[in-house]
Chain A
Amino acid sequence: MSKVVDAVDLSASGPDGPAAPQRNRPGALRLLRSGQVRLGCALVLLTMAFALAGPLLAPHDPAKSIALPYATPGDGLPLGADQLGRDVLSRVLAGGFHLAWMAPVAAIAAVALGALVGIAAAFYGGITDTVLMRVMDVLLAFPALLFTLLFVSVIGPKPWLLVVLTAIGMTPGVARVIRGAARPLNDREYVMWSRTVGIPARTILARCFLPNVSSPLLVELGMRLMWSIGILAAISFLGYGIQPPAADWGLMISENRTGLQNMPWAVLAPVACIVLFTIGGNLIAEGSARVIARTEGRG
C-alpha cells in the first residue's frame, strides 16, 4: 500500500495555494495583525497606564486649592486651575484611576457572564434556553443607567457596586450575540460526533463551543469596554460615582462645565482622556469585526 500519499488533493492548494495556511490559522491572535486592532489596543493600554500611574505622578495634591479659581495655564500650572483653584494637571493625572480599572473589569465580567449564559442557552436549548433568555430579556427591559442610579442611591457610591451593576446591565446584550453565534454549532458535525460518542457536556462547551465563538467574544469585549467607559463616566458626571473632593474625569467635566469659556482646559483635558480611551475600545471592536468578516468562512 502506498504510504503518505494523498491523491490529487487540490483543495488545499486552491486559490491561495499552500502558502495560505499560516493566514488560515484560527485563533484570536490573528486579530493583532490588523492595524486598527493594534492602534486600539495601544490607545487603551496607554490610557490605562497613564491613569493607573497618574496618582503617583501628580505634582500637587489634586484635592487642594493652590491657585485662584480658573487660573489660566502657566506658572507651574501647565493646564491651569479649576473652579476651586485646584491644579487641573494633577486632577487629570489622578482622576482616571478608578475608571481605568472599573471599565475593563466591568467589560470583562459582562462578556464572561454573557458568554456563559449565551453558550449554555445555545447548547442545552429547550427549557434552559427559554428560562435564561427570558431572564436576560427582563434585565434588558430596565434602562441600565436608571437601574444603576437607583441601586447607587440606595446603597451608596461604592466602586465595586458600580462595576457589578454596569456588568449586569451589559450582560443580556452579550448573551444574545453569543447565543446567536453558538446555536449553529449544534449542527456542526464535530459537535454531533462529540454527542454520539458521549463526550461530557463541559468538555464539548470548553473545546467546541468557547473557541469557536472567540471571535464575536472579542468584538463584544471591545464594544463593552467602550460602553462601560461611557456609562461609568456618565455616572460620575451625574455625581453618583467618585465623590468630591477626590478627582475623577467624569466629575471634573461636571464641576468645570460652567467655566468652559474662561478655562476650557479643565473640561477638555478629562474629555480628551475619556475620548481616547473610548476610541481605543471602539477600534478594537471595529478592527476585530473586520478581520473576522474577512477571514471567516474559510473552513
Chain B
Amino acid sequence: MSAIEVRGLTIALRDGSPIVKDATFDLEPGQVLGVVGESGSGKSTMSLAMLGYARHGARITAGQVLIDGTDVLALGPRALRRHRGNVVAYVPQDPATALNPALRIGVQLAEVLEGDAKEVDARIREVLGAVGLPSDDAFLHRRPRELSGGQQQRVALAMAVAPRPRLTVLDEPTTGLDVTTQARVLALVARLCADNQMAAIYVSHDLAVIGEVADRVAVMYGGMIVEAGPTKQVVARPAHPYTRALLAAVPSARERMRLTSIPGRAPGVQDTHPGCVFAPRCAFATDECTTGAPSLIELVPGHSARCLRAEELPERPRQSATAPASAVQEAAPGDTPLLRVRDLAAGYRDRQVLFDVSFDVVEGECLAVVGESGSGKTTMSRSLIGLQERWGGTVELGGTPLAPAAARRDPDQRRSMQYIFQNPYGSLNPRATVGDCVAEPLRHFFALGAKAARARVAELLERVELPGHLASRYPAELSGGQRQRVAIARALGCAPTVLICDEVTSALDVSVQAAIVELLRGLLNDGLGMVFVTHNLAVVRSLADSVIVLSEGHVVEHGGTDTVLTEPRHAYTKALLADTLEVSAAG
C-alpha cells in the first residue's frame, strides 16, 4: 500500500457538472508528483482536494484521498482542521498575497506550530535554515513586504514544511519568479522532499518545470488525468496525443523550434459528448474515439494513458523552425533603421535604472530584450513608448527623433510605434466591445466612418486569427490568449512600423504562447520591426533575430540570437541560460 492513495476522486460544480473526473494515483514518501495541464484543466481543483477542500461552488462528490490509510474526505470539520497543515500542507501560487502583511516572519511561522515556545523557536530557525534563509532575530522581525518574491516563496515553503507534513501541495509556486530564483526554489523543493521523506504534488502549466522537479507526472485535460507515468518516460515517449501536442508547443532555448499550437478550443464544463475528451482536437482521432470513453491503459508498468490508440501511434519527432535565426541586421549604409536608440538612460526619482542602452531595429527584425525582474527591461520599453521619462540619450523612429513623453510626440509618431502590454486582462477596456476596442485607433488616426471601420475591424481580427463574431463580445467573455490577440489587432490597426511587446506571453499557457509566437512571427515576415521584452530565453530563441541581455540596467551582451544563446560570453548570460529549464527527451 502506498503512503498516499487517491481513488476515483470526482469534484463537481453545484449543478452537478464534473470538473475533475475519476482521478486516481499513488504517491510514495519523498516522491514528487507533477500535475501538468493548462488553465481550466482542473489541476488546482484536484490538488486542493488533498486538503479536503473544494473552492466555493464546487463539491467533492466521490472518491477517497487516503493518507497513511486515513481518508481525508471522511474527516469531520475538527479533524480536518488538524489535518490541514499538519498532515497535508499547501503552498499557494502568489506568496505576496499568501503571507499576512501585518505579521512579522517569526510570528507568521509560529502560527503553524504547536508546543512550547522554545521548541517552536528552535524549529522555526531550523526550517528557515533548511530553505536557505537567514534565521537570526533580525530576519524573524521582518515583515513580508521587506522580502523579495523569492524570499517570500521560501517563507511560504518554510511555513508548509515546518509541521513536518506527510504531503505538500504546491500550486504553481514559481510562476511569478525569475528563472534563477525558480531554479533555486525547484532544487529546494526536491531537497526538502528527499530529506524529510515528504511527498509533494507540484502543480504547474510548465512542462519544463515539472520535468525538473517531478519524479512522476500526471497530465490533466478537461478534468481528467489523460496520461500518468515516470516523468522521464512521459517526456521521452508521450503516449497521449494531448501530451505530444503540449510538448510540441514548448519552446527551447537550445534550438529554434517551430512551435505548434493545438487546433480548436479546450472543453468547457458544459461540453459533454461521449467518447474521448480530446477527440475533437486530436489529429489521430477515429470514429471509435468519439463513441467510447477510453479508460486508463497501462502501456508499461507505471506508465498509462487514456487513449485507445496509445500503443499504435507512431512517434513524431519535433520539427525545427524552417527559418534559422539570423544575426544582427545592420541597416545598409545610407539607409535609416526603423528604430535607432542611442545611449538611452532612465530612472525613477533619484535612482537611475537604465544606463546607456543602444541598438537598431530594421524592417522585419525582432530584437529581444532579456533580463530578470529589476534589470530595467520594462523601464526601457516604457521610455521607448513615452510612458517613462528618459534621462538621456536619443530615440529615433524612422530617422526622426522622438520626444521623451508620448504627449509631446506628433500623431504620426504615436501611430507608428505601438505597445502590447504584458497583462492581457488589463489591456482592454472592460466596458467596450472587442469591435469598439479595435476600431478606436481607426477612428482616431484614420477618421474612418462606422461602416469602413467595421470592415477594417473584421480584417484585423482575421489577421490575428480570431473569428469575426467576437467583435460584438466584451473582454470578460474572452480568454487570455484571445484578449492578447485583440490587443495585437488594435495595435495593428494603427499601421505601425515598430511593435514593442512587453512580456506578452508570460501570462499565457504554453500552447497559447506557441500560437501567439507564431502570430508574431507572421507579423515580422510582413516587415514589422519588433522589440520583444521577455525573461524567457526559450521564447527568444524561437522568435528573435538578435538579443540584448540587460543586467542591472546595463547591456551586458548584444548579438545575434544564435550566437548569444549558443556561445554566451558574459557570465550573466551563461547563468541565465544554465537556469533556463528544458524539456528534453534525454532528461
Contacts and interface: CB of A to CB of B under 8 A. Distances in A.
B440 A12 contact: no
Q: Which of B265, B421, B511 has the most CB of A within 10 A?
A: B265
Contacts of B479: 6, 9-13
Main secondary structure of the interface of B (DSSP, over half): loop
Contact of B522 (A1, A4, A207): A1
B334 to A, nearest CB: 31
Interface stretch (A142-150, A186-194, A265-273): A186-194
Contact of B268 (A7, A18, A203): A18
B499 interface: no
A212 B429 CA distance: 8
A11 B480 CA distance: 6
Interface in A28-65: none
Interface stretch (A19-27, A75-83, A111-119, A246-254): A19-27
Contacts of A194: 440
B262 A199 contact: no
Nearest to B410: A198
Contacts of B13: 15
B512 A197 contact: no
Interface size class of B (residues with CB under 8 A): 35 or more
Interface stretch (B77-85, B390-398, B411-419): B411-419
B387 A192 contact: yes
Contacts of A20: 477
A190 B427 contact: yes
- Of A10, A12, A15, A188, chain B has the most CB atoms within 10 Å of the CB of A10
Given A6-B265, A10-B479, A15 B423 contact: no
A154 interface: no
A195 to B, nearest CB: 6
Contact of A197 (B19, B41, B414, B465): B414
B474 interface: yes
A243 to B, nearest CB: 46
Interface in A175-212: 188-190, 192-199, 203, 207-208, 211-212
Contacts, number: 169
B235 interface: no
Given A8-B266, A10-B41, A24 B477 contact: yes
B38 A13 contact: no
Interface string A84-117: 0000000000000000000000000000000000
A38 B529 CA distance: 54
Contact of B430 (A5, A193, A299): A299
Nearest to B427: A189
A18 B478 CA distance: 9
Interface string B257-287: 0000111111111110000000000000000
23 contacts: A2-B465, A4-B465, A5-B261, A6-B512, A8-B262, A9-B265, A9-B482, A11-B479, A11-B481, A12-B477, A13-B269, A13-B479, A15-B13, A15-B19, A15-B57, A16-B269, A17-B270, A25-B474, A26-B431, A26-B476, A198-B407, A207-B440, A212-B430
Interface of B: 13, 17, 19, 38-41, 55, 57-58, 249, 261-271, 385-387, 406-407, 409, 411, 414-415, 418-419, 421, 423, 425-432, 437, 440-441, 444-445, 462, 465-467, 473-482, 485, 490, 494, 509, 511-512, 514-515, 522
The 4 closest A-B pairs by CB, nearest first: A7-B261, A13-B268, A10-B40, A211-B431
